[in-house]
Amino acid sequence: MTAETTDTAPQTVYLADYTPFGFIPEKVELRFILDPHATRVLSRIEFRPNPQASDRRFFLHGEGLKLIAASIDGAPVTPELTDHGLCCEVPEGPFVWAAEVEIDPAANTALEGLYMSNGMYCTQCEAEGFRKITYYPDRPDVMSVFTVHVEGPYPVLLSNGNPVDSAEGHATWHDPWPKPSYLFALVAGDLVARSASFTTMSGRHVALNVWVRPGDEGKCDFALEALQASMKWDEEVYGREYDLEVFNIVAVDDFNMGAMENKGLNIFNASAVLASPETSTDANYERIEAIIAHEYFHNWTGNRITCRDWFQLCLKEGLTVFRDQQFTGDMRSAPVARIENVIALRGRQFREDNGPLAHPPRPESFVEINNFYTATVYEKGAEIIGMLRRLVGENGYRKALDLYFARHDGDAATIEDWLKVFEDATGRELAQFKRWYTDAGTPRLKVTEEWDGDAGRLTLHLEQTTPPTPGQDQKPPRVIPVDVGLLNPNGDEVVPTTTLEMTEARQSFSFDGLASRPVASVLRDFSAPVILERQSDSAERAFLLAHDTDPFNRWEAGRTLARDVLLGLVLRDEAPSGDFIDALARVAGDDGLDPAFRALALRLPGQDEMAQALSDAGVTPDPTRIWEATEQLSDTIAQRMRPLWERLHTEMEVTGPYVPDAEGAGRRALRNTALMALSRCDGGAAARAQFAAAGNMTEQLGALSSLLATQTAKGEVDAFFEQWKHDRLVMDKWFGLQVMQARPEKAAEVAEALTAHPLFDLRNPNRFRSVFGALAGNAAGFHHPSGKGYGLMADWLIRLDKLNPQTTARMCSAFETWRRYDADRQQMMTDALRRINAQPGLSPDTTEMTARLLP
Ligand code: 0A1
Ligand code: ZN
C-alpha cells in the first residue's frame, strides 16, 4: 500500500510525480436522495483501463463518507478503506463500479462538498470537494459525462448541464460535456429565479436564470445584464460560443470565495451577484460585473479546456482573470481599470512575493491545494498573459488563442501546452519567457539615463535583479517587456510607445535623432509586473503628471510624488511642498479629465504600501508613524484645497435615477473623495447632510465613511443599523466600515466588541471577513504596539479553524509581513502564529499556512 492510502499526516504533492490515472470513467450516473443529516449518494460509473497509464491500482478518493454498499459489475465488494479513500481489486477489462454512501450536509461547516446554507443545499467541489460527496478519482485530468438525478421535497432541484426531466420532488440533469469532478454542482431548496435569454452567434437560444432566496428577486437584473454582456463579448472578442441550453447562476449566503464556475450551474457568493442601488455601491456593481464575466469566461478557459493537475491552476485562472480584466476595460474605462488592477496587484501580489508565502505562478509542490488560490496564481498569472500579448502583438495573440481552443478543446492541459501554441502560432521561442511561470519573486528593474546632446541620443540603461524567495536562491534574468515613450519638454510626444524587450541582466537601448533632451516615460501601462527603480526628481514627476500621454504613467507619476512626500513626512517630518499640493490640485480640478481618474489620482498610497516602501529603503516601518503622517498629509490637502472640495462636492452630484455605469460611478467616486476631505474641515456637516439625503448606497456609505474617518459620526452608525439590520450584505458593510475606520488604538477593541454583536456569525465567511479582513486591512490598528490586534486575530482564527479551515488558512496571510517590522512586533506576530500552529487538531490547511509563515 502506498503512502497516499495509509498515512493520515498531510502529504506534500510534487509536480514532478504526475502520472495519469489507471482508468477512464466513460459515464457517471449519480442519484442524490436529499436529507439534511443523511443524504444518500448512489453512484454508477463505467470504467475502462486507461491505455496511457501503467499504474493499475484502483484508488478512489473519499473523505468523511459513510460507505453503505459497493459493487463491481453487480457483485458486492468490500473495499479497503482509509481516511482518504478506498482501494479495490478490479477486473482487467471494463467494469461498472457502483457505490452508495451517506453524508451529512447540515453538519458541513467547512463549506466544501455538499453543504447547507440557510436551508438551501449547495456544493463546492473545487479543488478537492467532490471526494466529500462520493468515492471518485477526484483529480482534474479525469473527465467524464455526468447524469444526475436529484430527489427531495424541494421546489427547485438543479445540477450541471441540460434539464432532462423534472417532476415534483425529482429532477434529472445531463451534462454532455466531459468534465472533471471539481466542476460538479448540485443545488436544491426553496429558490426563485429571475430569467432572461441569450441567442448565440449561431442562433441557439439559451435560457439564463439567476436563482435566489425569495425576497431577493429584485436584486438580479444587473447580474443578468452582465451575463448577457459577457456572453456577447466572448463571442466577439474570442469567438467563443456558449454550449448548453441553459445557464444557471445561484446566489448563496455562505461561500468561502467569490464564485465558482461549475459547468452550466455557477454558484456565487451572494455578495458577488445581488445588487440594488439602495444596497450596493458602485464598487459592488463593478465587482459583480467582473465576477459574472470571470465565471462565464471559465466555460471555455477552465471547463472546455481544463487543467491536467492543480499545479497548472494558473492556466485557467491567469487566463480567465486576464479575460475578465479585458472585459472590464472594454465595458468601462480601460485606463481606470488598469490602474485599479495595478493597485490591487501591488497590494496583494507584490506583498505575497516579498514574504514567506512567495511561490511561482506554477508551484512545484503543495500540501493543501486550497492554499494556492493566491494573488500570484490569479493576478500575476494574468499579468504574464498581458506580457505575452504585448510581445507577440494583438494578431499573434489572437492566432495563438484560436490555436489553443482548436488544439486543446476537451483536454486537461498544461502550461507547456499553453506556451507551445504561442510558439507554433507566432514562431517565437518562449523557453526564457517560461521563467515567469516557474520562478517566484518580483523583479526589480533599475533604469538610468544617459543623454548625448551632440548626437541627439538618449540611452536607457536597464538592469534587472530578483531577490531570492523561499526555496529559490538563484534568479536568472527574465524576458521583460518595457514600454517606453519620450516626451518633449513642451509636452509633445516625440517617440510614441515602443516595447523594449529586455532579456539580459543588463541591457541598454538608445533613441536617436532627438533635437533636445526628452523626458522618458518608462514602463507605460505597467507593461510588466516589476518594481521600477528610477531616480527622478519631483519636477520631472510633476511634468509627467501634467503631460504624459500614457494614463497609467500619468497616474503613476502622481502616486510616486505622493509616496515621496509621505516618506519625507515619516522620515524627516518634512512638510509637503507647495508644488505637490499644486500638482494635485491641478489634476483634481481639471474638468477635462475623467472624474474616476481624478479620484484615483487623489487616493494616497496605502499604509501597507508605505510600510513596504520604507522596508525596501532599508528602514523598519512604524505603522503608527505612517498612519500619523497619512493623517497629517490628508489634513493639509483637505485644508489647502477646501474651495475645490466644495466645488467638486456640488458639481459632481449625479441627479436622476441611479445608473451603475462607469461615468456615474466616476462622478460619485470623486464626489465622495471631496466629501472625505471636506469632513476634515467642516466637522462632518456636509457628510451628515449627504447621509440624510442619500439616494443610493454609494452616497450613503461614502457619507458614513467620512463621518467615521473624521470621528464626526453622531447617530449615523445606529441609524444605518436600524435601517439595514435585515439585509446581510449591507450589514457586512456596517461591520467592516467600523473596524476599517477605527483609530489605531481602538481598532482591536472595536473589532472585539463587534464579535459580541448578535449579528456576528462565525459560520458565515462574509461576516467573519467583514470584521477580521477589515482588522487586517487597518494597518496601524492591526500592528498597534500593544499587540492586541495580533492577539485578537489569533484567538478568532483558532476558533474559526474548527469550523472552516479554508477561510482560516487564507486569513493567516494577515501575518505574512512580520519580517518587515521591529523586534517587538516580530516577536508578537510570530508568537501569534506559533500559538495557532500549536493548537491540537489544527486543520492541515492552517497547519501548512502557519508553518510556511514561521521562520
Ligand atoms: N475557481 C473559482 C474560485 C474558487 C476557487 C476555489 C474554491 O474553493 C477552494 C472556490 C472557488 C474562480 O476562479 O472563480
Ligand atoms: Zn477563476
Closest atom of ligand 1 to 806 CA is 9
Among 130, 254, 257, 307, the mutation site with the greatest number of ligand 1 atoms within 8 A of its Cβ is 257
Annotated catalytic residue within 29, 295, 383, 848 = 295
The residue whose CA is least distant from atom 8 of ligand 1 is: 126
ipTM for the assembly: 0.99
**Mean pLDDT along residues 537-543:** 93
Residue with cell 479575460: 323
Closest atom of ligand 1 to 112 CA is 8
pLDDT (0 to 100) of residue 10: 78
pLDDT (0 to 100) of residue 536: 87
The residue whose CA is least distant from atom 10 of ligand 1 is: 257
The residue whose CA is least distant from atom 1 of ligand 1 is: 260
**What percent of the chain clears pLDDT 90, i.e. is strictly above it?**
98
Closest atom of ligand 1 to 291 CA is 14
Query: CB neighbours of 140 closer than 8 A, spacing ≥ 6?
Result: 180, 182, 306, 307, 308, 309, 310, 412
Query: CB neighbours of 77 closer than 8 A, spacing ≥ 6?
Result: 70, 71, 88, 89
Closest atom of ligand 1 to 294 CA is 14
Q: Ligand 2 centre from 454 Cα, in Å?
A: 54
Mean confidence (pLDDT) of the chain = 97
The residue whose CA is least distant from atom 12 of ligand 1 is: 260
Does residue 4 surpass a pLDDT of 60?
no
Q: Ligand 1 centre from 686 Cα, in Å?
A: 42
Q: Is the dihedral of CA 584, 586, 588, 593 positive or negative?
A: negative
Kindly report the number of other CB atoms within 10 A of residue 490's CB atom: 8
Q: In what order do the strands lie in the sheet with 113-117?
A: 113-117, 120-124, 186-189, 156-159
Closest ligand by atom to 130 CA: 1
Q: Ligand 2 centre from 318 Cα, in Å?
A: 8
Q: Ligand 2 centre from 261 Cα, in Å?
A: 7
Q: Ligand 1 centre from 243 Cα, in Å?
A: 22
**Mean pLDDT along residues 741-767:** 98
Alpha-carbon distance 636 to 639, whole Å? 5
Q: If pLDDT is split at 50, 70 and 90, which confidence band does 2 have?
A: very low
Tell me how many degrees the CA angle 20-22-26 measures, rounded to the nearest 5.
Answer: 100
Among 230, 260, 267, 287, the mutation site with the greatest number of ligand 1 atoms within 8 A of its Cβ is 260
Closest atom of ligand 1 to 370 CA is 9
Closest ligand by atom to 372 CA: 1
- List residues, by chain if needed, whose CB lies under 5 Å from ion ligand 2: 317, 320
Closest ligand by atom to 123 CA: 1
Length of the chain: 855
Does residue 633 surpass a pLDDT of 90?
yes
Alpha-carbon distance 696 to 310, whole Å? 42
- For residue 707 the three cell numbers come to 463621518
Alpha-carbon distance 136 to 117, whole Å? 25
Q: At what angle do helices 823-837 and 788-801 cross, to 10 degrees?
A: 10
pLDDT (0 to 100) of residue 8: 56
Q: If pLDDT is split at 50, 70 and 90, which confidence band does 268 have?
A: very high
CA dihedral defined by 553, 554, 555, 557, rounded to 10 degrees?
80
pLDDT digits (tens, 9 = 90+) for 826-846: 999 999 999 999 999 999 999
**Mean pLDDT along residues 800-810:** 98
The residue whose CA is least distant from atom 6 of ligand 1 is: 126
The residue whose CA is least distant from atom 4 of ligand 1 is: 260
**What percent of the chain clears pLDDT 70, i.e. is strictly above it?**
99
Does residue 9 surpass a pLDDT of 80?
no
Closest ligand by atom to 298 CA: 2
Evaluate whether 21 touches 53 at the Cβ level (below 8 Å).
Answer: yes
Closest atom of ligand 1 to 255 CA is 10
Closest atom of ligand 1 to 369 CA is 9
Q: Ligand 2 centre from 500 Cα, in Å?
A: 31
Is the fold of 306-438 the same as that of 444-528?
A: no
The residue whose CA is least distant from atom 13 of ligand 1 is: 317
Q: Ligand 1: which residues within 6 Å by Cβ?
A: 124, 126-127, 256-261, 294-295, 317, 370, 373, 806
Q: Ligand 2 centre from 849 Cα, in Å?
A: 22
Based on its alpha-carbon atoms, the radius of gyration of the chain, rounded to whole angstroms, reads 27
Alpha-carbon distance 347 to 25, whole Å? 43
Q: Hey, what CATH topology would domain 13-190 get?
A: Immunoglobulin-like (2.60.40)
Alpha-carbon distance 247 to 266, whole Å? 8
The residue whose CA is least distant from atom 7 of ligand 1 is: 126
Of 382, 340, 231, the residue nearest 293 (C-alpha): 231
Q: Ligand 2 centre from 373 Cα, in Å?
A: 9
Q: Where are the domains of the chain?
A: 13-190, 306-438, 444-528, 725-855
pLDDT (0 to 100) of residue 535: 87
Evaluate whether 97 touches 42 at the Cβ level (below 8 Å).
Answer: no
pLDDT digits (tens, 9 = 90+) for 328-375: 999 999 999 999 999 999 999 999 999 999 999 999 999 999 999 999
Closest ligand by atom to 323 CA: 2
Q: If pLDDT is split at 50, 70 and 90, which confidence band does 5 have?
A: very low
Closest atom of ligand 1 to 378 CA is 13
pLDDT (0 to 100) of residue 3: 37
Q: Ligand 2 centre from 655 Cα, in Å?
A: 37
What CATH number has the domain spanning 444-528? 2.60.40.1840
Q: If pLDDT is split at 50, 70 and 90, which confidence band does 496 have?
A: very high
Please state, in angstroms and as integers, the Cα–Cα distance from residue 713 to each residue in 453, 719, 784, following that order: 60, 11, 23
The residue whose CA is least distant from atom 2 of ligand 1 is: 260
CATH value of 725-855 in 1.10.150.120, 1.10.1060.10, 1.25.50.10, 1.10.3720.10? 1.25.50.10
**Mean pLDDT along residues 786-794:** 99
Annotation marks residue 295 as catalytic = yes
Backbone angles phi, psi at 218, to 5 degrees: -75, 0
pLDDT digits (tens, 9 = 90+) for 66-90: 999 999 999 999 999 999 999 999 9
What CATH number has the domain spanning 306-438? 1.10.390.10
Does residue 718 surpass a pLDDT of 60?
yes
Q: If pLDDT is split at 50, 70 and 90, which confidence band does 26 have?
A: very high
Q: Ligand 1 centre from 128 Cα, in Å?
A: 11
Of 482, 474, 401, the residue nearest 438 (C-alpha): 474
- Cis before residue 75, ω within 30 degrees of 0? no
| Gap between the terminal Cα atoms of the chain | 35
pLDDT (0 to 100) of residue 254: 98
Among 183, 303, 373, the mutation site with the greatest number of ligand 1 atoms within 8 A of its Cβ is 373
Does residue 7 surpass a pLDDT of 50?
no
